[in-house]
Copies of this chain bind each other. A is one copy, B any other.
Amino acid sequence: MHLDSCLVSKMEKYVALTRSEATFLADLEKEHWPIPAGKTILRVGETLRDLYVLKSGWALVRSRVSRGRSQILRIYLPGEIIGLVELGRSEALHSLQMHTKGVLCPFPRERMVDLYNSEPRLSALLTALGSLEQMAMREQIFSLSRRSAEDRLVEFLLSLQDRLHVANLAATSRFMVPFSQAQIGDVVGLTPVYVNRLLTKLRQEGRIEIERPYIRILDQDGMVNQVGFRSIYQRVDLDWFPSQAA
């Protein structure tokens, strides 16, 4: 199966798709919509009419501002579906914007109806992937409330590296972190000043190497050990759902 669909290739990493399933997914990427960096897709209170496949570029979900800063709640990478979380409510609680320039492939909510009606196994796969996200969010909640600032920063680097790895976007220990230090602070819940102090400290200790916008992790084992990092997105267990003949 070799369709030009980042969604299909992402899903195929998790399970073998039937012909029908693959064409259904590939079909979602029919329409292409190039977006400039920084463009806001959805504001708080608005309705997200369509869903999107993020074909290229990075997208961000942000909270409203509080004490002068907003929180980055979710980083979307190429191959992911945007808008699933907004399915349950018509007014958005959080805003959505492109972080880099990229391409969105919009498809109407009604396609989800078709999905549930005709592709039960794909529906279950989406649910299972959603459950992985919830696990990741639980880890983030744990991290924010129980970890030191340094541990939070280390975990951010490790989990971003891990996600880029799964998405085939990181070669080895070096990967792209297209964020200013202030934005990193918006992810891990720290001030720009303190992010800088911690990054400087990690660099001086020889644990990371910074060549913007790239970061290389030099002390992988030590860092994994320090925060007890566990990869979440590496694979999904869908063994409880019997695979169907094509």
Contact = CB atoms under 8 A, between A and B. Distances in A.
Interface in A207-221: none
Interface string A63-97: 11011011101100000000011111110011000
A216 to B, nearest CB: 27
Contact of A146 (B90, B127, B189, B232): B189
A198 to B, nearest CB: 15
Interface of A: 61, 63-64, 66-67, 69-71, 73-74, 84-90, 93-94, 109-110, 112-113, 116-117, 120-121, 123-124, 126-135, 137-142, 144-147, 188-189, 228, 230, 232, 236-242
A127 B18 CA distance: 22
Interface centre among A124, A141, A236, by most chain B C-beta atoms within 10 angstroms, is A141
A86 B124 CA distance: 13
A144 B240 contact: no
The 6 closest A-B pairs by CB, nearest first: A145-B189, A116-B120, A88-B131, A88-B128, A109-B240, A144-B144
Contacts of A113: 124, 240-242
13 contacts: A71-B141, A71-B145, A73-B141, A84-B127, A88-B236, A89-B237, A90-B237, A109-B240, A116-B124, A123-B127, A144-B144, A145-B188, A146-B189
A240 B86 CA distance: 12
A144 B189 contact: yes
A93 B139 contact: yes
Nearest to A142: B63
Contacts of A89: 131-132, 135, 232, 236-237
Nearest to A134: B85
Contacts of A93: 135, 138-139, 230, 232
A133 to B, nearest CB: 7
Contacts of A130: 88, 127, 130-131, 134
